[in-house]
Amino acid sequence: MLLAMLRGTVTSLEVFALTLIFSLPLALVIAMGRMSRNRVLSGVTNVFLLIIRGTPLMLQLLVVYFGPGLLIRKLVMMGYAVSFRWNRFAAAIVALSINYAAYFAEIYRGGIESIPKGQYEASKVLGYTGAQTFFRIILPQVIKRIVPAMGNEVITLVKDTALVSVIGVSELLMVAKERQGAMFSFTPLFIAGVFYFVMNWGVAFAFRKIEKRLSYYN
């Protein structure tokens, strides 16, 4: 039982890690689009954020996994020769990355907009380019300010990895439910709860270390 649950935990950790790897940079791009002076770009980005943040993650997982297949089926019925095979794990990563990028983007935006405008003006006087100002002066301060909010979202992500079971990805909670049904015991679910607790404790510990490391901005 423990071996199967450990394999499920590895899958959960893979989903967690890959979602962070893809969503964090994507969120910065979305945040920039949201703050763009181009009304079309900012408007489209705002609608995108409204849709993603306003619909359940479980629904988004189902749409990402089943949606392309339904679309291709319609194209085939119209006479187009189209072939596509969607991997469950990949679909889970895509859906989670898009969902969390939307939330991270708003955290980024809040952090960026909290920086006084005078810092932009001062850096311009000192001869910094726009890119140098953002990456050398603004972004380090933004990271310091958004760490607590990001920590909350990342902890939520650990728990949300359980939702990928809705499209058949065999992660920790799905394995625990299967073992519970086979054993007629609550023990597998209790063990899964312990595993999730340990993972979230690790995330919380890591973010405390990051906050301490960035304390020189205080």
Q: 28 pLDDT band (50/70/90 cuts)?
A: very high
Contact 137, 124 (CB under 8 A): no
Whose tokens are 């301060």? That residue is 141
Mean pLDDT of 19-41: 94
Burial label for 19, CB within 10 Å (0-12, 13-18, 19+), is: buried
pLDDT digits (tens, 9 = 90+) for 89-138: 999 999 999 999 999 999 999 998 888 888 888 888 888 887 888 888 88
Helix (H, G, I), strand (E, B) or coil at 18: helix
| pTM exceeds 0.75 | yes
Q: What's the rounded Cα separation, in Å, for the pair 62 and 66? A: 6
Q: What's the rounded Cα separation, in Å, for the pair 42 and 50? A: 12
> Quick one: which of 41, 23, 40, 24 has its CA closest to 32?
41
Give the containing element (helix H, strand E) for 156: helix 139-160
Q: What's the rounded Cα separation, in Å, for the pair 10 and 139? A: 32
Q: 81 pLDDT band (50/70/90 cuts)?
A: low
Return all residues near 85 (Cβ < 8 A) that are at least 6 apart: none
Q: Does residue 216 carry a pLDDT above 70?
A: no
